Structure 1
Amino acid sequence: MRSPGRTAALLGILFGLAATGTSAATVTLPQLAGELGISASTAAWTISAYAVVLAVATPLHGRLADAYGLRAPLVSGVLAMVVGAIASALAPTFALLIVARVLQGFGGASIPVLATALVSAMWEGPQRGAALGRLAGVSATFSALGPLMGGALEDLGGWRLALALPALGLLIVPYLVRVAPSGGSRQHIDRTGAVLVAVAASGLVLLLQSPSSGPVTAIVGAVLLAAGAPAVVAWVRRRPTGFLPRTVVTNPVVLRSSFATAAIPASWFALLVGVPIVAAGWGWTPLATGLLMLPAAAVGLVTPLFSRRALARLGAQRAMAVACPIAVLALLVAAAGDLADAPALLALGVALVTVAFGFGQPAMMSAVDEAVAAADRGVAIGVATLVFLVGASVGAALVGGLAEVAGLFTVFFVLMALPVAGLAVLLLAGRRQPAAA
């Protein structure tokens, strides 16, 4: 029997390496723009292209796992991320860099959904909760270390070395080949449904990215969403067992859990993007900004010890309800740090949101896993992860689009409405359940 701790830690490192595709790359954008001769806004597409594909491809990877087992989609996804990271580091032009980042994002999208599905397939009960908590904690730690690692690598070898960081995932591939199960239902993949979901999801994410990416992105996103969303609804009605099974997309637990906890990555990414902006305004170097995030990395390592117990004692829904007010507190503390020019408060805000992530993400995945049939586990986790990552796009987009106009203090306060709404959804659902029983 494989050790839940070891496996979850390695999967958490993979999850974290996928996240460093954003967090470590962000601090390199000024140098990247200067070397390639592009504007800062154009350079930001290095992050946006990766984030869009990372979110959009998650349901596809989940459905591939249902059909063909976890081993092939997960291993090939990690290899695609590695190749994309290396190609990004070697790209001679910005156009080729974007192509490489799209490949990297497509491969990286396999990790959040399939790593969680692998834990769910290998263990049950308290062991599953412990493994999910370890996975979330290690991944949060790596994400918090992303700016530090990116800044250090930029100092050593420039932006290219920082973009190559996710290629370290290659070292974990042999272990995945040994532990990930093959098999699957061998059912035919609904390609039409997959394309329609990709169109609608791309439109939504691009629309969310448009405050920081410009009006063209907003127009493209709006068109894709307007065309894709009704088509997805019609296709699900026509093919209720297709790419998006009706039993999954109408499951109240899947919908409630994913939408309520999407507020947590929104808060998390807002701070991961916003805190470096504040520090840069103080004249801090990327390396110094990374050091500011070190307390959050330490917190990410110890959070699983508490989240595992919380998940076992409280259950998934109550554990998610605990995570939402922690996210509110994190944003409140960070807003105070921005207002008072207090680095310690900013560091505390990032640490608190890391705790919220460590509680909320494994609780959401546990709730979704228990709410669907085993044959639909991959696609259900994929849908939940898509919503989760859309939440991250909301946080990053609000910081990128509103910070220059209203200030980060205001953005952090606006974002507090999301975890408050998530908590309200969970509490209202909790009140209805006893009555139904």
Structure 2
Amino acid sequence: MNVQTDLKRTRQLPLLLVLVFSLFVACMTADMVNPVLHLIRKDFGASEAGAGWVVSGVLLVIAIGVPIYGRISDFFSIRKLYAFALLIFAAGSLVCAAAPTLPILVGGRMLQGAGSAAVPVLSVIAVSQVLPSGSRGAALGLLAGSIGLGTAAGPIFGGLVGQIFGWPSLFWLTLALLLALVPCALYVLPGGAGTGTPEESRLDLPGGILFGLAAGLFLFGVTQGQTEGFRSPASWGSLSGACLLTAAFIRRIFTAEHPFVPPALFADKSYSAAVWVGFFTMFAYVSSLVFVPLLVVEVNGLSPAAAGLVLLPGAAAVAVFSPAAGRLSDRIGVKIPVTAGLSLMGISLLFISTFAAGSSPLLAATGMLGLGLGVAFTNSPANNAAANTLGDEQVGAGLGIFQGALFLGAGTGASVIGAFLAARKEDAQGALNPFYVLDAAPYSDAFLAIAAAVVIALVFSAGLQSGRPK
């Protein structure tokens, strides 16, 4: 049975329900431990830097794993690969729930990342296979909405459940959800082989290793820069190594007979623009999800659970408006929604920088509402933009790179803005924002820096293809 025949039998609604819920669980799990890190530190007697690996370890593995899963999906059944990844995810959750020491907990989190890395990229690939270009925007919008909702819900879920029942309960609940999802995935996902020919689907193992090491060293160097400073040997050494490996990877894709990533992908201006828009959008969004709660806890004195509620308006906006933004990008093209969404993100971040940092938490929630609405009109059309540029033989590699860029942006943003915030606190200087008049200048500066990332995304959005997809 060929892929197309199998896909025609796939029931779209059950498929979307399984993909949406799997994405929600994966994204929620990634950052649900943030509010209970202090409990983990207390239980294990760990340092702040050591406990930080409970968060950064999973992001590191996800950033490496997403493009690899995308590439190998070219010659493995999506159904089997997805279910196998969910089982790895579940095994990691079991290790975390029963972890007797911090190193085992970190190892379990990395195992979670090795499984959850498959969920975003294989979900988008499944939708791209089932629905033709020009009619997949709403479905991709649902996926983008579940990513945004899960990312925002993670700290809320972790703060409420973790503080009441203890942090291991978070992983027991995740384990139960994942075990329920495995048979559902086996039932509804397309089961055909990959879309490429045997020659096209030959895996370039050296290229994959180079890519994984480059991405891993980059994110490790950025994370170490936040904790130890970017002048530390661990940080600059890792970043230098990432640069060398990236150069070797670029050389590899131009010289290998069957490269890990086809060079033609990056020759497509619209695809490259979509990748950079996705990177800086997640840079800004995840940074805000981290530092808005920190702002209202440190400056306004809210509890971690109450601080998580400040994120709810933005999470709701992402969930509600992402499908509509995806449908809109099918009708009028991706460029107008992305430009409007990025503009709204920038305005919302400037609002937080100018009026909300050090003021009422209601103003911070208002800024997050605008930010979430902007993300909704940016992320799902950007997904659509990337998918629309790819031929059948490029879907796995192309969407893998795109989804990997989202997670690299997420990990990079939180670390870079964290280091910038710490530096501004140490300098104890006035705010860089000339319109800011309150007494939380370092936070005002942090959100101004996040707004600058959105401006960069706006510049790249000029390269997106105008008009409706063909």
TM-score by length of 1: 0.92
Mapped to 1, the partners of 2:13 and 2:289 lie a distance apart of 27
What is aligned with 2:434?
none
Alignment of 1:5-20 (within 5 A): 5-20=13-28
From the superposition, tell whether residues 5 and 178 of structure 1 become closer, same or farther in structure 2 (CA, over 3 Å). closer
Do residues 395 (structure 1) and 430 (structure 2) align?
A: no
Alignment of 1:252-331 (within 5 A): 252-281=269-298, 282-331=300-349
Cα offset, 1:395, TM superposition: 1.7
Cα offset, 1:259, TM superposition: 0.5
SS at match of 2:202: coil
From the superposition, tell whether residues 117 and 249 of structure 1 become closer, same or farther in structure 2 (CA, over 3 Å). same
From the superposition, tell whether residues 352 and 81 of structure 1 become closer, same or farther in structure 2 (CA, over 3 Å). farther
Q: RMSD over aligned Cα, in angstroms?
A: 2.2
Native 8 Å contact 1:20 1:166 kept in 2: no
Structure 2 unmatched ranges of 5 or more: 1-8, 425-441
Alignment of 1:57-76 (within 5 A): 57-76=65-84
Do residues 356 (structure 1) and 374 (structure 2) align?
A: yes
Do residues 238 (structure 1) and 255 (structure 2) align?
A: yes
Do residues 212 (structure 1) and 249 (structure 2) align?
A: no
SS at match of 2:419: helix
SS at match of 1:262: helix
What is aligned with 2:215?
201
Mapped to 2, the partners of 1:221 and 1:351 lie a distance apart of 37
* Deviation by residue 1:59-110 (Cα, 9 ceiling, x = unmatched): 1100111111311221111221121122112111111111111111111111
From the superposition, tell whether residues 344 and 331 of structure 1 become closer, same or farther in structure 2 (CA, over 3 Å). same
From the superposition, tell whether residues 229 and 337 of structure 1 become closer, same or farther in structure 2 (CA, over 3 Å). same
Match of 2:363 among 345, 351, 363: 345
Give the counterpart letter for 2:52 in structure 1.
A
Native 8 Å contact 1:278 1:338 kept in 2: no
Mapped to 2, the partners of 1:343 and 1:166 lie a distance apart of 30
> Percent same amino acid among aligned pairs?
23
Mapped to 1, the partners of 2:319 and 2:56 lie a distance apart of 28
SS at match of 1:284: coil
Give the counterpart letter for 1:242 in structure 2.
P
SS at match of 2:46: coil
* Deviation by residue 1:373-415 (Cα, 9 ceiling, x = unmatched): 1022011001111222221123211232122222221111112
Native 8 Å contact 1:24 1:163 kept in 2: no
Do residues 226 (structure 1) and 243 (structure 2) align?
A: yes
From the superposition, tell whether residues 75 and 401 of structure 1 become closer, same or farther in structure 2 (CA, over 3 Å). same
* Deviation by residue 1:174-220 (Cα, 9 ceiling, x = unmatched): 22112222311453321111101011111221222233232354145
* Deviation by residue 1:320-342 (Cα, 9 ceiling, x = unmatched): 22221122123123323543422
Mapped to 2, the partners of 1:112 and 1:305 lie a distance apart of 16
Alignment of 1:395-414 (within 5 A): 395-406=413-424, 407-414=442-449
Native 8 Å contact 2:253 2:259 kept in 1: yes
The answer to which structure has the higher helix fraction is 1
Do residues 99 (structure 1) and 116 (structure 2) align?
A: no
Mapped to 2, the partners of 1:45 and 1:402 lie a distance apart of 20
Match of 1:33 among 34, 41, 45: 41
Native 8 Å contact 1:240 1:246 kept in 2: no
Mapped to 2, the partners of 1:301 and 1:155 lie a distance apart of 26
Rg bigger for which structure? 2
Mapped to 1, the partners of 2:234 and 2:79 lie a distance apart of 36
What is aligned with 2:167?
159
From the superposition, tell whether residues 240 and 331 of structure 1 become closer, same or farther in structure 2 (CA, over 3 Å). farther
Give the counterpart letter for 2:211 in structure 1.
V
Deviates more, 1:315-324 or 1:368-377: 315-324
Give the counterpart letter for 2:391 in structure 1.
A
Mapped to 2, the partners of 1:256 and 1:62 lie a distance apart of 19
Give the counterpart letter for 1:331 in structure 2.
L
What is aligned with 2:395?
377
Give the counterpart letter for 2:326 in structure 1.
R
From the superposition, tell whether residues 23 and 353 of structure 1 become closer, same or farther in structure 2 (CA, over 3 Å). farther
Alignment of 1:72-91 (within 5 A): 72-91=80-99
Native 8 Å contact 1:17 1:165 kept in 2: no
Do residues 170 (structure 1) and 184 (structure 2) align?
A: no
Do residues 140 (structure 1) and 175 (structure 2) align?
A: no
Cα offset, 1:428, TM superposition: 5.5
From the superposition, tell whether residues 126 and 2 of structure 1 become closer, same or farther in structure 2 (CA, over 3 Å). farther
Mapped to 2, the partners of 1:313 and 1:354 lie a distance apart of 22
Native 8 Å contact 2:83 2:182 kept in 1: yes
What is aligned with 1:180?
189
Native 8 Å contact 1:267 1:353 kept in 2: no
Native 8 Å contact 1:87 1:97 kept in 2: yes
Structure 1 unmatched ranges of 5 or more: none
Mapped to 2, the partners of 1:333 and 1:210 lie a distance apart of 30
Cα offset, 1:257, TM superposition: 0.8
Deviates more, 1:377-386 or 1:414-423: 414-423
Match of 2:265 among 248, 254, 267: 248
Native 8 Å contact 2:70 2:400 kept in 1: yes
Native 8 Å contact 1:33 1:43 kept in 2: yes
Give the counterpart letter for 1:342 in structure 2.
S
Alignment of 1:395-434 (within 5 A): 395-406=413-424, 407-427=442-462
From the superposition, tell whether residues 208 and 276 of structure 1 become closer, same or farther in structure 2 (CA, over 3 Å). same
Cα offset, 1:364, TM superposition: 1.9
Mapped to 2, the partners of 1:429 and 1:115 lie a distance apart of 23
TM-score by length of 2: 0.86
What is aligned with 2:52?
44
